[in-house]
Amino acid sequence: MSAAAEKVRIVEVGPRDGLQNEKQPVPTAVKLELIERLAAAGLRDIEATAFVSPNWVPQMGDHAEVMAGLPSAERFPGVNYPVLAPNMKGYEAAVAAGAKEVAVFAAASEAFSQKNINCSIEESITRFEPILLDARQRGVRVRGYVSCVVGCPYEGAIDPGRTAEVAQRLFELGCHEVSLGDTIGVGNPRTILAMLEAVAKRVPVEKLAGHYHDTWGMAIANIHASFQFGLRTFDSSVAGLGGCPYAKGASGNVATEEVVYLLHGLGADTGVDLDALVDCAAWIGGLLQRPPSRVAAARRAGRAANCA
Ligand code: HMG
Ligand code: MG
């Protein structure tokens, strides 16, 4: 890899987005081993858990235990472990558990906002305000998510202007970055680019992240289009784990190993060791009985790869 390779940041969301919808209980020890293996593979932003209601998302009910078992900073210096926080209660619990970065999450669709966090978009922004205020005082970083950026399971196609407005609200509240979620993976490069054009008029492109689910197999094409548009941060989930409990039919996020393969092929530097990541994907995919992603299958079959 050349010294001038463009850096791309990958936010690994497998331990949270990847596992939140898993039907079988995943022991805390397995979550912690997953996080450890991801950090060892070179991931530097690993979304660890969610401080949401265990009645709504039982799989994230061990959030405090996960935080208590995270690898030490000496073991993996510079690794961030952001966690989801939907409201003040979740934020306070996250901070008490040692979180240094939280992610608030809104939606571009009213119906999805109601189903996911039981309030309107406007109410959700009002709930985030005190979180951002307190976080600024404590030096806690806050990431913002917008869900359903191009399509919603309840409302259908979403106008790019609606996504841009919510993204701008989150950015103006003080979120250091806004992650754009194609929650149900219905986007294609045309709709994703139309959305990015609208959002980038209101939020600087270097403050945006692409968070694309892979339901229709378009996520990698959407990442390529977004990379060419100028995005340099992408969210993904090892082994393509995941799905949203409040977005029926949504499959997992794009597999991290596929994103790494694409980006290295484009000459970018992710800092991730593809072989270690594929080993991690095989391990967790085997435990959860998931078919391997195409990159994981090809790499393990020993086929030549075009990246180092
Ligand atoms: P609610 O029922 O409206 O909450 O849920 P409430 O304020 O009315 O309180 C009801 C009870 O919940 C109370 O307990 C509260 O204390 C408790 P009780 O008095 O009845 O014993 N409660 C909490 N408990 C734990 N943690 C909390 C919390 N807040 C209240 N933070 C709430 C509102 C937001 C809590 C609920 O709707 C919820 O937890 N939703 C989370 C849904 C979720 O996690 N969805 C998946 C993540 S988002 C996603 O996947 C999309 C993303 O990946 C991007 C993309 O792909 O688009 C990020
Ligand atoms: Mg998601």
Give the model confidence (pLDDT) of 87-108 as tens digits. 999 999 999 999 999 999 999 9
Query: Mind listing the domains of the chain with CATH numbers?
Result: 9-307 (3.20.20.70)
- Is 17 touching ligand 1 by the criterion CB < 6 Å? yes
Torsion angle of alpha carbons 93, 95, 99, 103, nearest 10°? 70
Ligand nearest to the CA of 182: 1
**Ligand 2 geometric centre to CA of 81 (Å):** 16
Angle, vertex CA 165, rays to CA 190 and CA 236, nearest 5: 55
- Is 57 touching ligand 1 by the criterion CB < 6 Å? yes
**Ligand 2 geometric centre to CA of 253 (Å):** 6
- pLDDT at position 92 is 98
Torsion angle of alpha carbons 60, 178, 7, 296, nearest 10°? 40
- Is 234 touching ligand 1 by the criterion CB < 6 Å? no
Q: In this structure, which residue's CA is closest to atom 35 in ligand 1?
A: 53
- pLDDT at position 247 is 67
SS3 assignment, position 282: helix
pTM for this model (two decimals): 0.96
**Ligand 1 geometric centre to CA of 67 (Å):** 18
Nearby residues of 10 by Cβ (< 8 Å), 6 or more positions away: 43, 45, 233, 234, 235, 236, 256, 259, 260, 263, 270, 272
Which conformational region is residue 292 in: left (phi greater than 0), alpha (psi within -120 to 50 degrees), or beta? Answer: beta
Q: In this structure, which residue's CA is closest to atom 14 in ligand 1?
A: 53
- pLDDT at position 122 is 98
CA 296 vs CA 118, 215, 239, 257, 261: distances in Å: 38, 18, 8, 7, 10
**Which portions of the chain are predicted below pLDDT 70?**
1-3, 243-245, 247, 249-250, 303-308
H helix runs in the chain, sequence order: 28-40, 63-68, 88-96, 110-117, 121-138, 160-173, 189-200, 219-229, 256-265, 274-287, 294-300
Q: In this structure, which residue's CA is closest to atom 47 in ligand 1?
A: 244
**Ligand 2 geometric centre to CA of 243 (Å):** 7
Catalytic center residues: 244
- pLDDT at position 308 is 46
Antiparallel, parallel or unpaired: β 151-152 and 141-147: unpaired
Burial class (CB in 10 A: 0-12, 13-18, 19+), 131: buried
Antiparallel, parallel or unpaired: β 45-46 and 9-12: parallel
Is 213 in contact with 184 (CB distance < 8 Å)?
yes
Number of H helices, E strands in the chain: 11, 11
Q: In this structure, which residue's CA is closest to atom 43 in ligand 1?
A: 116
Ligand nearest to the CA of 20: 1
- pLDDT at position 251 is 75
Ligand nearest to the CA of 107: 1
- Is 183 touching ligand 1 by the criterion CB < 6 Å? yes
